[in-house]
Amino acid sequence: MSNKKILILFISLSVIYLLEALFISSDASARSKFNLSATEVKLLSLTVTLPIIFIWMLGCYAYIKFRSYVDTIAKDKDGRVFRIISYGLLALFLWLPISSVFSNMATYLYRTNPSWTAPLVITNNYINLALVLVGFALIYKGAYKLINLKESRNISGWKYITLLPLVFISALFTFLTLNNPVRQFPSADVPTAAYYLPDWLLIITIIIPYVLVFYLGFFSILYIYMYRKNVRGIIYKNALDYFAKGLLCIVLSIIVIRYLAALTTLFDNSTLKIILLIIYLLILLLLCGFILLVKSVKKLKAIEKA
């Protein structure tokens, strides 16, 4: 897909997302709970929508510039590997706009057609999962090939160190998800269940694949960082350092999102200020990740011009 088509795709998704925020009616029960008018809800939603769109455009810019750099080194061994990583980045950068646009539309549809709720929630969950899984699978594949291009010492020790937080994060995610009281069915206080899946299917098609996402993400970061330690050039090292840190912020944001999905009742029992604070902090984490990736590709472009 050409850079022009990529840009048009991101702009189109951003426009659709903004129109959804402006014209899809807000939940009347939520307005009543927080004592907000329809106009106040729209204004608050814009404080979330506009920063998210900005993050998407950062992702679009980072991908286009990264792909441009990859094209200049296409004949090199690391160039062929970076091309694989670029495909993963594209899937990862498309994850937010595609899932957000679909989620808003699905919410509108099942409010007007309650019988559609379960299939739409299930579809939305799988769209989220598929994009991040494909994205990190490709990034991991590329990162693994990168580490094999250079001799990396003590990589085994770092693998064990990386596994420690990964095991804890995965175990906590599994525990929270399986103990979510509205994972299968809605309650009187929470009108929409989180998954609408029996536990065995939830484990096989949601929990295990997301644990795999965590694994692929953490080890992609480790391999890129270890590759960085074995290459020459301060600018190149700094570019890879920013790249690894940017991916780390995105992986952490995905983990936070999955924890919040498991803590469905948290939002129902929280005040508006707490809910907005959680959302803004999540946006800030994503923003940091995408800014670091942009800084990374700028340094890579600097190498290209040198």
- Residue 170 scores a pLDDT above 80: yes
Give me the amino acid identity at 118: A
Torsion sign across C-alpha atoms 96, 98, 101, 107? negative
Classified as helix, coil or strand, 41 is helix
In this structure, are residues 171 and 255 in contact, taking their beta carbons and an 8 Å threshold?
no
- Residue 32 scores a pLDDT above 80: no
CB atoms within 10 A of CB 118: 18
In this structure, are residues 3 and 67 in contact, taking their beta carbons and an 8 Å threshold?
yes
Residue 35 zone, left/alpha/beta (φ > 0; ψ -120 to 50; rest): left
pLDDT band of residue 304 (cuts 50, 70, 90) is: low
- Interior angle at CA 197, CA 191 and CA 198, nearest 5: 120
Nearest of 184, 34, 33, 15 to residue 104 by alpha carbon: 15
Give the whole-number percent of the chain exceeding pLDDT 90: 49
Q: Between helices 208-229 and 234-262, what is the axis angle to 10°?
A: 160
What does the pLDDT look like over 38-86, one tens digit per residue? 777 788 888 889 999 999 999 999 999 998 888 888 777 777 888 999 9
Chain-centroid distance, C-alpha 15: 20
How many Å from the N-terminal Cα to the C-terminal Cα in the chain? 28
Nearest of 143, 139, 298, 137 to residue 228 by alpha carbon: 143
Q: Between helices 117-149 and 77-112, what is the axis angle to 10°?
A: 170
CA distance to 56, 166, 184, 285, per residue, from 153 (Å): 37, 22, 47, 31
- Average pLDDT over all residues of the chain: 86
Q: Where are the domains of the chain?
A: 3-305
pLDDT at 52: 94
Q: Cite the DSSP H helix spans in 150-271.
A: 155-178, 199-202, 208-229, 234-262, 264-268
In this structure, are residues 30 and 42 in contact, taking their beta carbons and an 8 Å threshold?
no
Over residues 240-263, the mean pLDDT reads 90
Over residues 152-162, the mean pLDDT reads 68
Over residues 211-229, the mean pLDDT reads 91
Over residues 165-169, the mean pLDDT reads 92
